[in-house]
Amino acid sequence: MSAPALRWYFDFISPFSYLQWRKLRELARERPIALVPIAFGAVLSAHSHKGPAEIPGKREFTYRHVLWQARREGVALRFPPAHPFNPLAALRLCIAAGSTPEAVDAIFDWIWREGQAGDSAQALSSVAAALGVPPEAIGSDAVKSALRANTEAALLAGVFGVPTLTIGPQLFWGNDAHDFALDALQHPELLEDPEMLRLQHLPIGVQRQA
């Protein structure tokens, strides 16, 4: 039986994506992973959700939690000058650079390790130059279309948040689900036991009224 395809959906606006990427780099050396930058804001809109940074109280807690996780994992992390920020330029730069591990590394490190702005082509100019991407490529119609296609494909796959790692048809959402994903990758039968299967059809007991 062939190994299931791996795809990783992410947005540079997400510090949790940065944290998971630091782990996925090791896995990417062992087997191919399709790196898929998507517009998290469009995913939230499609599901009528708010991001954690859009909810007072949750925003501050999330930032502290991210920093705590980074320190526990031994990962250097410094927040950019403002958050949330518009990540479109960073996403388009990644696509223009081929969505390679080197491009993902460089952009994440600029924003989340060095704490630099990633909200415009100008702010990312030094990263683009290092990656060999000309300024006009970031705003090209082809790159914009590719980002839209990535995001639409993510929604069709059932993605509702970032980061999301897919193993075949199975979705594993969030940095804190990374170990779960690795366990399922190594032991596919994990998701086939009776209780796991029962959860797919668990009845809804009550629904909140809008």
Q: Which residue has the tokens 């990783």?
A: 8
pLDDT for the residue numbered 114: 98
CA atoms of 161 and 173, how far apart (whole Å): 7
pLDDT for the residue numbered 175: 97
pLDDT for the residue numbered 29: 86
pLDDT one-digit tens code per residue, 30-61: 899 999 999 999 999 999 999 999 999 999 99
Sign of torsion, CA 192 197 200 205? negative
pLDDT one-digit tens code per residue, 163-204: 999 999 999 999 999 999 999 999 999 999 999 999 999 999
Entry pTM: 0.96
pLDDT for the residue numbered 50: 94
CATH homologous superfamily, domain 6-199: Glutaredoxin (3.40.30.10)
What does the DSSP assignment read for the chain? -PPPPEEEEE-TT-HHHHHHHHHHHHHHTTS--EEEE--HHHHHHHTT---GGGSTTHHHHHHHHHHHHHHHHT------SSSS---HHHHHHHHHTTS-HHHHHHHHIIIIIS----SSTTTTHHHHHHHT--HHHHT-HHHHHHHHHHHHHHHHTT--SSSEEEETTEEEESGGGHHHHHHHHH-GGGGGSHHHHHHTTPPP------
Q: How confident is the model at residue 1 (pLDDT cuts 50, 70, 90)?
A: low
pLDDT one-digit tens code per residue, 64-109: 999 999 999 999 999 999 999 999 999 999 999 999 999 999 999 9
Average pLDDT over residues 99-124: 98
Residue-range domain boundaries for the chain: 6-199
